[in-house]
């Protein structure tokens, strides 16, 4: 058996961790964040919201179920790097078509294993998300620190244009299981839903289709007049990567459609962009929410949900007009805003992911709530 190749993880402050290489043989910079999900690494790797970030999995053993084509959330692996404690030497899943290391190599993602992931998480929780670099080709920590300090980071950058679809397309696939009752169909058929793709995951589209919508996906920069040409009955604003503030084109489209009465549902980045369109502001979190175990209370029902989340920015609730916008969901760990509702328009948003890929199914009701909102024309 060959000796595993050495690999380095170097932070912008110079702290260095030495481990073993897997995946693509090369190097890459990114903002290091940690994900607390115990399963679902495949869905994490294919979530476009991680564009520009190096992801550390806190669960210690990764790769044991390999990679299968059915559970991909996009066609790409948008991570800048992958950090784990231990890579499973065996793949034990009848659906697996390849192993994690080979798949990451195919998608040009560098991985490092054998590092103290607990110490790294403690560093990030203490000092906040930091720029880092993973390299299997440069063994000089000083050289790597120079490279990572020269990397611009994700703040102020439009990462959405790197992950959105190229042209409008229909989505016609539902869910394998009956998560949701279908929307009662009128004689005119399924409501026409326009989806603005800021980096959408496939299971969101499956959930929307299962909820009874006729789904058409549009590139993120599609202007409002071009969307209106398709005569949509409603609008969906998807998840996506990075800082929402540079996306002026999306904010303009949201104002032109959602704030003129088109029933709208926004998730994650779509939630943040809606807040900006309403005159609010967003702020960068210390280390974000990344995982499948965040408790959120729905203030409209008093019910608590365990949710899947992936975001580094959050809406500042105090920046919103309380006479126009109501906070509907709050994170029980840090009291951050997790959901909004317009008091007069059929418009609501949540910060978390209801599509359960990976994670719990507690929030699937939101797809049904959106369908009911469209059917009734009320919030």
Question: Could you tell me whether strands 53-57 and 81-83 are parallel, antiparallel, or unpaired per DSSP bridges?
Answer: parallel
The DSSP secondary structure of 223-243, one letter per residue, reads -HHHHHTT--SEEEE----S-
Task: Tell me the mean pLDDT in the region 366-377.
Answer: 91
pLDDT, tens digit, 9 for 90 and up, residues 11-51: 999 999 999 999 999 999 999 999 999 999 999 999 999 99
Quick check: is 21 catalytic? no
> Which one has a higher pLDDT value, 173 or 192?
192
In a shared domain, residues 214 and 113: no
Predicted confidence at residue 369, as pLDDT, reads 93
User: What is the chain's mean pLDDT, rounded?
Assistant: 94
In a shared domain, residues 168 and 55: no
Using the predicted structure, report yes or no on whether residue 182 has a pLDDT greater than 80: no
Lowest mean pLDDT among 150-164, 183-197, 348-362: 183-197
Flag whether 128 is in a domain: yes
Quick check: is 355 catalytic? yes
Using the predicted structure, report yes or no on whether residue 3 has a pLDDT greater than 90: no
In a shared domain, residues 230 and 115: no
Domain containing residue 240: 160-376
The DSSP secondary structure of 251-306, one letter per residue, reads HHHHHHHGGGT--EEEETHHHHHHHHHTT--EEEEEEEEEEEEEEEEETTTTEEEE
Using the predicted structure, report yes or no on whether residue 262 has a pLDDT greater than 70: yes
Distance CA 298, CA 331 (A): 9
Tokens 């998300």 sit at which residue? 129
Backbone angles phi, psi at 21, to 5 degrees: -85, 145
Q: What percent of the chain has pLDDT over 70?
A: 96
Predicted confidence at residue 187, as pLDDT, reads 40
Quick check: is 311 catalytic? no
pLDDT band at residue 181 under the 50/70/90 scheme: low
Backbone angles phi, psi at 341, to 5 degrees: -145, 135
Domain end (from 117, 150, 183): 150
Number of domains in the chain: 2
Using the predicted structure, report yes or no on whether residue 2 has a pLDDT greater than 90: no
Q: What percent of the chain has pLDDT over 90?
A: 92
Domain end (from 115, 150, 185): 150
pLDDT, tens digit, 9 for 90 and up, residues 184-235: 444 457 999 999 999 999 999 999 999 999 999 999 999 999 999 999 999 9
In a shared domain, residues 136 and 202: no
Predicted confidence at residue 102, as pLDDT, reads 97
Distance CA 364, CA 371 (A): 12
Tokens for 171? 């989505």
Flag whether 189 is in a domain: yes
Predicted confidence at residue 356, as pLDDT, reads 87
Flag whether 361 is in a domain: yes
Predicted confidence at residue 47, as pLDDT, reads 97
Flag whether 155 is in a domain: no
In a shared domain, residues 119 and 174: no
**DSSP 8-state class, residue 191:** P
In a shared domain, residues 166 and 204: yes
pTM: 0.95
Domain end (from 150, 172, 207): 150
In a shared domain, residues 166 and 111: no
Tokens for 348? 């609501």
In a shared domain, residues 10 and 119: yes
Helix (H) or strand (E) holding 208: helix 202-210
The active-site residue out of 27, 73, 268, 271 is 268
SS (H, E, C) 91-109: CCCCCCCECHHHHHHHCCC
In a shared domain, residues 205 and 139: no
In a shared domain, residues 216 and 252: yes
In a shared domain, residues 117 and 246: no
Distance CA 186, CA 87 (A): 51
Predicted confidence at residue 179, as pLDDT, reads 55
Predicted confidence at residue 379, as pLDDT, reads 47
Contacts with 296 (C-beta within 8 Å, 6 or more apart), sequence order: 304, 305, 306, 307, 329, 330, 331, 332, 338, 339, 352, 363
Which CATH number fits the domain that encloses residue 108? 3.50.30.20
Pick the closest to residue 35 from 82, 80, 77 (CA basis): 82
Flag whether 65 is in a domain: yes
Task: Tell me the mean pLDDT in the region 254-262.
Answer: 97
Contacts with 220 (C-beta within 8 Å, 6 or more apart), sequence order: 160, 161, 164, 196, 197, 198, 240, 247, 249, 250
In a shared domain, residues 211 and 273: yes
Which CATH number fits the domain that encloses residue 286? 3.40.50.880
Predicted confidence at residue 185, as pLDDT, reads 47
How many other CB atoms sit within 10 Å of the CB of residue 321?
A: 10
């Amino acid at each position: 058996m060959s000796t595993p190749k050495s690999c380095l993880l170097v932070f912008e402050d110079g702290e260095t961790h030495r481990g073993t290489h897997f995946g693509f043989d090369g190097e890459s910079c990114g903002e290091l964040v940690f994900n607390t999900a115990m399963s679902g690494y495949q869905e994490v790797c294919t979530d476009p919201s991680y564009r520009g970030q190096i992801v550390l999995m806190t669960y210690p053993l990764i790769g044991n179920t390999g990679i299968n084509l059915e559970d991909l959330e996009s066609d790409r692996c948008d991570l800048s790097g992958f950090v784990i404690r231990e890579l499973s030497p065996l793949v034990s899943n009848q659906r697996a078509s390849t192993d994690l290391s080979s798949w990451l190599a195919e998608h040009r993602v560098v991985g490092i294993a054998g590092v103290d992931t607990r110490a790294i998480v403690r560093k990030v929780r203490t000092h906040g998300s930091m720029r880092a670099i993973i390299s299997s080709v440069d063994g000089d920590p000083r050289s790597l620190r120079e490279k990572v300090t020269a990397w611009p980071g994700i703040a102020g950058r439009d990462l959405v244009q790197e992950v959105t679809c190229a042209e409008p397309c229909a989505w016609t696939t539902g869910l394998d299981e009956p998560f949701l009752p279908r929307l009662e169909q009128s004689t005119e058929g399924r409501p026409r839903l326009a989806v603005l793709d800021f980096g959408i995951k496939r299971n969101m589209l499956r959930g929307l289709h299962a909820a009874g919508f006729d789904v058409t996906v549009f590139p993120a920069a599609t202007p409002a007049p071009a969307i209106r040409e398709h005569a949509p009955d409603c609008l969906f604003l998807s998840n996506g990567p990075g800082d929402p503030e540079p996306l002026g084109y999306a904010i303009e489209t949201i104002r032109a459609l959602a704030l003129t009465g088109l029933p709208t549902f926004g998730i994650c980045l779509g939630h943040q962009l809606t807040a900006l369109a309403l005159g609010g502001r967003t702020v960068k979190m210390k280390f974000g929410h990344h995982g499948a175990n965040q408790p959120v209370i729905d203030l409209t029902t008093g019910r608590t949900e365990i949710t899947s989340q992936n975001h580094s920015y959050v809406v500042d609730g105090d920046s919103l007009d309380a006479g126009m916008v109501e906070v509907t969901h709050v994170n029980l760990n840090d009291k951050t805003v997790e959901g909004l509702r317009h008091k007069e328009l059929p418009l609501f948003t949540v910060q978390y992911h209801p599509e359960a890929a990976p994670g719990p199914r507690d929030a699937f009701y939101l797809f049904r709530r959106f369908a009911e909102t469209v059917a009734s024309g009320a919030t």
